[in-house]
Structure 1
């Protein structure tokens, strides 16, 4: 009669054998991987030793053989060239011809275009403290110098006047005006139109009566004062 192992014995023996075989397979696989890795590392070390070995007596020139990687990729940097303006003289800026006119305009101008008709001094038994310019009614009157308007309106004997504190401290008086075109406190420049020629007050015809009052000496002759500032006034007969 054949001997039959119990089912439990067969199962136990079969499981143990299978586990042993699986363990042996894993060990063999790991050993193979480790061996292959060691071989690769050994080969790499040998390659580095071969390539890094120097011939006996050979000298390394660091200036030619060893160069930073960046030096091979260096890019030269130069400043951009400033474009030149054609026809421009060196040292001359293109906007110089367009500087404000205030730098070249005259400091003193003639108040009206009309001719001198009366001098400064004694006239008809009284003192004539200014000079007269005959001109058409409504002709423009210009500020003689830079200054500030200090009075503008009615005035005894002149009908209407404009008084300007001038750039040298004197006061310019514009009398017998027909229309006032400036206001008190206004800053004016030489040549600015401040009024028009009139025939108001004690006047025998359209004209401008112009006076210059010095802060220390009072009224002075406007003709030499204007001449000293570059505006020549011809002397003619009385009014």
Structure 2
């Protein structure tokens, strides 16, 4: 775990689209990208680390900013979003923000498709579109290497060079965009613009870790860590409300 933390911190200074960390399913292919390439206990270690850092350092700052501005969280304690937290958000947000971190040729068409699905929110239509997006992401596996339909998935040498050159900015921009989307979790009236970034500091830090996991372990692994990270606090809230339902009135 210590070696991975060091690798993560070094990665933040100079993000690069590789190489992968060693593992049973490590590889650069699409199928390897969607496999889980880390033991569950390692992902639990990362989730516990994120929960601890956010709870001790960043969550108090976000709470202070919310109290100072009158922002209120949209979470409904009487209707906890289990499916959204465990399934929808990990899959859709990882595909939207982090899948192309190793697929530069897909930025121009895959990201707009996923943004449209993300904005639409959970529903029958968006679920069908999400399924279509996943099929499109896996499509290169169904065509020969030189097939003309693979051109939309394979980047030219020039694109790859530009991708690597601007990769640090792209990586950190993706983390900021991921955090900014979570401002929707709050109801705001006269919010001070200076305080807005403080509201989503936990999501920003989490986005950095998820981005590193996606690059080093694959998007399937980042989806699983995302689900664990979302599910832990929600499960704790559910248990507390089960044994002390009066807490929902505060």
Is the shorter-chain TM-score for this pair beyond 0.5, marking a shared fold?
A: no
Give the structure with the larger helix fraction. 2
**Which range, TM-score by smaller chain?**
under 0.3
Larger Rg: 1
TM-score by length of 2: 0.21
TM-score (norm 1): 0.21
Instruction: With a CA cutoff of 8 Å and minimum separation of 6, indicate the structure with the bigger relative contact order.
Output: 2
In terms of fraction of residues, the more strand-rich structure is 1
